[in-house]
Structures are given as C-alpha cells and as structure tokens.
Amino acid sequence: MIFRSFFLLWMIFGLSACQEQVSYETLVTNPRYLQQEQKKCESDASNPQCKIVKQAAFVLDMLSHEQMEAPEAFGERILHAQMKMADAKETLDDAKAHVIELHRKNANQQLQNDAQKVLGQAKTNYDDTVMEVNILLAALFSTSPTN
C-alpha cells in the first residue's frame, strides 16, 4: 500500500510537469478519453504523447485492480485523501488570509515574501491532493458495475 501510494504520487508529480498535447491529469482522470488516446497510439506508436498515455493507463489499471481486490480499503483510501484535501484547503485559506493581513498591515517585505512562499507551497499541496482524489475517483468509477 505504501509503495502504491508512493508510486501514485511519483506519477502525479513526475508527469504533471510534462507539457504535452494532453496532460497526464486529463488522461488519468478521464478513463473514456484515455481509451480513445490508447486507440490512437495503437495506430501511431511513434507519437511522443503515447508515453504519457501508456503511463496514465498503467496507473489507472493498477488502481482499478487495487479497488477490485479490496473495495473497502480502497474506499478508505479515497476517504483519507478527501480528508487530506479538506485539510490542505483549510491550510491554503489560512495562508491566503495571512498574506492579505500582512499586506493590509504594511508588514515588512521579508515577512510578506515568506508568507507568499508559504502560500505557494499550500497551493501546490492543495492542487496535488485534489489531483490525487480525482485520480482515485476516476479509478473507482472506471471499475463500477455500470461501466
């Protein structure tokens, strides 16, 4: 489980920096679109986008198998990620409020710069947790009985 979480995060952080035609996040959170892109890669494997498509398909497949093997544990994983996202949102809101307050008080520039850095880190953390939740939910819905 820890390896899978680490791997998922590695895939999120490692591939989200790629600026290809279609983002990794778009592919891994939209299983039907991912399938369409996989079909395109079957006919044109030389397309550089295909590497990202294959990696997104691998992660989604791995998560789908995890969900099928242990649905309750997977549900708990989603719940934990959603709680982490709520905490990250609260931290982000607090950081925004702090930046505004420092600006309003005309605090020294170093304090404002430090607060901006904290805000940037909080925003990155929140965005990453939102992506994690979206990926987990995509895996859940891609394996639901109605699909």
Q: What is the pLDDT of residues 63-98, one digit of tens each?
A: 999 999 999 999 999 999 999 999 999 999 999 999
- Which pLDDT belongs to residue 143? 67
Average pLDDT over residues 100-123: 97
Query: For residue 123, is pLDDT > 60?
Result: yes
Phi/psi class of residue 70: alpha, beta or left (left: φ > 0; alpha: ψ in -120 to 50)? Answer: beta
Query: For residue 15, is pLDDT > 80?
Result: no
Average pLDDT over residues 31-56: 89
Q: Is residue 147 part of a domain?
A: no
Q: Is residue 21 part of a domain?
A: yes
Q: At what angle do helices 49-69 and 31-43 cross, to 10 degrees?
A: 130
Q: How many domains does the chain have?
A: 1
Query: For residue 114, is pLDDT > 60?
Result: yes
- Which pLDDT belongs to residue 75? 96
Q: Is residue 90 part of a domain?
A: yes
- Which pLDDT belongs to residue 10? 52
Compute φ and ψ for 64, nearest 5 degrees: -65, -40
- Structural domain span for residue 80: 2-142
Average pLDDT over residues 117-134: 97
Q: Is residue 18 part of a domain?
A: yes
Average pLDDT over residues 93-117: 97
- Which pLDDT belongs to residue 3? 52
Average pLDDT over residues 28-36: 92
- Which pLDDT belongs to residue 8? 56
Nearest CA among 114, 130, 138, 117 for reference residue 63:
138
